[in-house]
Chains A and B, each alone.
Chain A
Amino acid sequence: MSISGVTLAAFPSKLFGVFVFSKGSPLSVIQLSDVTKNYGKHTAVEKLSLSVPAGSLYGFIGPNGSGKTTTIRMILRIIHPDSGTIEVLGNLAASSANDRLGYLPEERGLYKKLSVRRMLGYYAALKGMASNDARIAVEGWLQKFELTQWSSKKIESLSKGMSQKVQFIASIIAHPKILILDEPFSGLDPVNTEAIREAILHLQDSGTTIIFSTHDMSTAERMCDSVFMIHQGVKVLDGTLDEIKSQFGTGSIQLRWDGAREQLASIREVHTVIDCEGYQELQFDGDPQRVLHQLITKGSVQRFEIAQPSLHDIFIRIAGPKAMDSSDSQSQRIGA
């Protein structure tokens, strides 16, 4: 299936992942071509091709098992594909490319016995930063996140929120060209969430390409430019968020009218009617103008609104409700 600007591959109804693309940068900072990765007899990623434009804020959404962690680890060269090629920042050598990558894993850990400053200095050194540059960067980020007074304290003395901010700083300390964030807001209170969200957007403004993996559809929808979906390691969808929404956007109408519910069944395009408080939601196929025309002939229409589906709705439509349950339960577990 193909939609303008959106490639829609065949997608079975189980597990999905979603990537979101930038609107228009011609440069690609990450390029996967026909990448396959097997774990024994299980194929985690199959012939995956992917291109991440420079400067994009690129969402990666999906429940467990879709291959997103494997894909991230291959991009980071923690594991290597069985076949296919991966280019990160062009043809840069693996070690040099990794120095320009920042990574915030979903499950986080810090050296509890190290001081905040020493630990951040260690991560900066591993990314190849000179000690003077590292010191300046550490002080700057600690100040930005109001952690300066904690800089000599051991990590074990920090609260959970502060530890997560320190971990976030560690992932960006070396001014990465590409930042990969796996559930960056997991377990954060609203204040810290906003602080990190602002930092992410600031990094994007300064040219950092951001890959954003999350189970929280609303956050992805609010922050990301474009979407990429995989199902059981196979690419099923990619494109900008607007393009994807417009593709799935004509399938739902919010209706208030004085006609009988039974009359809706006689409209050929309508296949589902959901009773909501104060209105009815019609799910249909085909031209909404034809639906409207038929409604007018059957009664008086007070409200007729073509609803654009949320990313959450699209996800359920593609993956099915079971996939969403899996995704939600995973989110709750991580957040707990």
Chain B
Amino acid sequence: MNKVFIVARTEYLISVTSKAFLIGIVMMPIFMGGAILVQYLTHDQIDIAPRRIALVDQTGRLFDKLQTRAEIHNQTEIFDGEGEQRKQTGAPFILENYIPEDHGDERADVVLTRRVSDGDLFAFAIIDDGIFEATSAGSIRYHSQTPSYQTLANWLRNAVNEEIKSVRIAELQLSNETVAALSRHAPLRQFGLVETDIQGGVQDAKEENRILTFAIPFAGLMLMFMMIMSVAPAMLNNVLEEKIQKISEFLISSVTPFQLMAGKLLGAVCVGLTLSTLYLGAAFGLAVYFDVSDSVPVSLYAWFVFYLLVSLVTFGSIFSAIGAACSEIRDAQSLMTPVMLLVIIPMMCIGPILDSPSSTFSRAISLFPPATPMLMFVRIAIPPGPAVWEIVLGSVLTVLFAIGCVWAAGKVFRIGILSQGQSPSIAKLATWVLAK
């Protein structure tokens, strides 16, 4: 056991004193901060050129009202700030009333399509004649060659529908005040649960911060994913490099292959925990600074560390076995692909789980051992969290899976570290696992 710690200590010190580690610590926040900064700096770097749209108003009643709305939009909605700080941040809309009869026999959509293609127009829209009737299937047909730009289409849809609603309300002869009173939306505020202490005292529920509710599990998931991606593939490279450089045979004359693998694994796990401790510490500091530290219970930090530990052991052992089994990085990459899928599965499932953390799907996928560390953490981080039996079952299964991975990896490592030549197939690896 002592030799495992000697290997682990050396591996750990080699990693944390390397320039790559120190650069990595600094670079990750720089990249993340940089991404936010770039978004901030570029948020107003948008095309504010006027968008000219031709409207074929088959009702004959809407264009003037839409023109008025466009003028209001152009005077108010496309500017931010006041006084000298006032700055244009959106594109003005220029409306053209296109009356087909004034342009000969050629179809209006053909003529207007040509004009859009020529750059004379940004888009054109045809408003159906029967659009005012509640039972009508009439619609607004919006044509453009830049469907990714939705601002104009959204404005047009809202403006037309507002006008239609006004007309329908007018037909009912309701006053504007009545309409306003009828349309008033009641605000919805979201709270957690009321807490009752042992003495029967009741503490009012706290209002939920919607951003934090989603940000914490998502940030935890991302951090765990980044730690796995930082540590596990590095283990593969480390083992493969030592094998290629013929260091391994020298080492295993002093330690058993399993001791060597276990030492490397322990060293790598410690590197991952060191990195995450630094980031969690920084996150906690920021939480205290912004007075939201109460939003993250201490138990959540403990769950994060526990699940990170399990996932690093799981994927670290699998990747080190692949490194030992292969003789070239190219062969290792082909064996890495199925394992990478296991790492990525939780990232692909995050949407449905954030949306519905207690659904059957969320429960099932979070009990799938390779995905449990990341997904169970996400479910724990979203109040009220999963049932206790789910946490216990998931934790037991994933710990057993991690132990199984270490055992199987040790068997592969023992044979693979001395093998040369073509890398083994997955079937061959299975025979190594089952070999005495």
Contact = CB atoms under 8 A, between A and B. Distances in A.
A167 B246 CA distance: 12
B343 interface: no
B255 to A, nearest CB: 6
Interface stretch (A102-110, A205-213, A282-290, A303-311): A102-110
B418 A78 contact: yes
B173 interface: no
A310 B10 CA distance: 48
A224 interface: no
B242 A98 contact: no
Interface residues of B, number: 22
A127 B7 CA distance: 12
Contact of A107 (B3, B10, B249, B257): B249
A98 B254 contact: yes
B159 interface: no
A114 B14 contact: yes
A79 B255 contact: no
B253 A109 contact: no
B364 to A, nearest CB: 41
B251 interface: yes
A79 B418 contact: yes
Contacts, number: 56
Interface in B222-251: 242, 245-251
Interface in B192-246: 242, 245-246
Nearest to A122: B10
Contact of B246 (A78, A79, A109): A109
Contacts of A126: 3, 6-7, 251, 254-255
A1 B256 CA distance: 40
B6 A125 contact: yes
A111 interface: yes
A76 B257 CA distance: 12
Chief secondary structure at chain B's binding surface: helix
Given A109-B242, A126-B255, A103 B250 contact: yes
Contacts of B254: 98-99, 123, 126-127
Contact residue range for chain A? 20 to 34
Interface in A105-132: 105, 107-114, 122-123, 125-128
Nearest to A125: B6
B356 interface: no
Contacts of A99: 254
B161 interface: no
Nearest to A79: B418
B247 A76 contact: no
Contacts of A112: 245
A113 B242 CA distance: 12
Contacts of A171: 250
Contacts of A79: 418
B250 A109 contact: yes
Nearest to B242: A109
A73 B418 contact: yes
Contact of B253 (A78, A125, A167): A78
Contact of B249 (A95, A98, A105, A127): A105
A112 B238 CA distance: 12
A88 to B, nearest CB: 12
Nearest to B2: A128
Nearest to A174: B254
Interface string A306-322: 00000000000000000
Contacts of B257: 78
B405 interface: no
Nearest to B252: A78
A170 interface: yes
Contacts of B253: 76, 78, 98, 101, 103, 105
Contacts of B252: 76, 78
Contacts of A122: 6, 10
Contacts of A125: 6
B18 interface: yes
Contacts of A103: 250, 253
A125 B13 CA distance: 15
A148 B253 CA distance: 26
Interface string B276-287: 000000000000
A114 B6 CA distance: 15
B200 to A, nearest CB: 61
Given A73-B418, A126-B7, A126-B255, A113 B250 contact: no
A239 B69 CA distance: 108
Interface string B252-292: 11111100000000000000000000000000000000000
Contacts of B418: 73, 78-79
| Residue among B6, B14, B253 with the highest chain A CB neighbour number at 10 A | B253
A167 B6 CA distance: 19
Interface in A63-119: 73, 76-79, 95, 98-99, 101, 103, 105, 107-114
20 contacts: A78-B252, A78-B257, A78-B418, A98-B254, A99-B254, A101-B253, A103-B250, A105-B249, A109-B245, A109-B250, A111-B14, A113-B14, A122-B10, A123-B250, A125-B6, A126-B3, A126-B6, A126-B254, A167-B250, A171-B250
Interface of B: 2-3, 6-7, 10, 14, 18, 242, 245-257, 418
Closest 4 pairs between A and B when the two form their complex, measured CB to CB: A109-B246, A109-B245, A103-B253, A109-B247
Given A76-B252, A111-B14, A113-B18, 18 more contacts: A73-B418, A78-B249, A78-B252, A78-B253, A95-B3, A98-B253, A98-B254, A99-B254, A107-B249, A109-B245, A109-B247, A109-B248, A112-B245, A122-B6, A122-B10, A123-B254, A126-B3, A126-B6
Interface of A: 73, 76-79, 95, 98-99, 101, 103, 105, 107-114, 122-123, 125-128, 167, 170-171
